Chains A and B, each alone.
Chain A
Amino acid sequence: AQSVTQLGSHVSVSEGALVLLRCNYSSSVPPYLFWYVQYPNQGLQLLLKYTTGATLVKGINGFEAEFKKSETSFHLTKPSAHMSDAAEYFCAVSETPDKLIFGTGTRLQVFP
């Protein structure tokens, strides 16, 4: 079965610093991969997704993620953190055409 592991339930960075949120997946078939963001008291919002093609995927709000098959990773990065990036981030992999499997989430804190 496919699964997702998010390393680090909490990540703290200073404003302007690099954001790196880690996600590793397991899959026996080519995966479809997603990053979602959840702001306080809101639903999950799609940040970006990888299906096929270019392995570097750009999303909203300056985030991007790179699919690395050899490392089974799909880490999320942003060059310079803003205070508004503070939220919870979820990585997800498509298990079957019907279902997404979500990771346990990483809470990002941004300090001034």
Chain B
Amino acid sequence: DSGVTQTPKHLITATGQRVTLRCSPRSGDLSVYWYQQSLDQGLQFLIQYYNGEERAKGNILERFSAQQFPDLHSELNLSSLELGDSALYFCASSRQGGRGGYTFGSGTRLTVV
């Protein structure tokens, strides 16, 4: 157990739908990062939050949004889902930012049918 908790582990939904992925960071970590991993795109950075505020944006689609709550858990919202959004979505957290390395959760596997 890495200390980063992601729910749900698996999600199957239809095209056009909206889903919410949840992440609880490791205790004491203020930064949360979201990544998408697919076979053709590899590991893609989506977005980072630090202590409730957006800190950096990567290759995140406009249909996707995220937030970090006062208790530091984070949610990634994916809407108007397309088949190509099927992927593993990882959350990671850190205490010292990049310099300390990240701790990853086990991911949410999203399948859009």
A residues contacting B by CB (< 8 A) are: 32, 34, 36, 41-46, 49, 51, 90, 94-100, 102, 104-105
Contact = CB atoms under 8 A, between A and B. Distances in A.
B34 interface: no
Contact of B2 (A45, A100, A102, A105): A45
Given A44-B92, A98-B50, 17 more contacts: A34-B101, A43-B106, A44-B90, A46-B103, A94-B97, A94-B99, A97-B97, A97-B99, A98-B56, A99-B48, A99-B56, A100-B101, A100-B102, A102-B45, A104-B42, A105-B42, A105-B43
A41 B21 CA distance: 17
Nearest to A100: B98
A46 to B, nearest CB: 5
Contacts, number: 58
Contact of A96 (B33, B42, B45, B98): B98
A99 B42 contact: no
Contacts of B56: 98-99
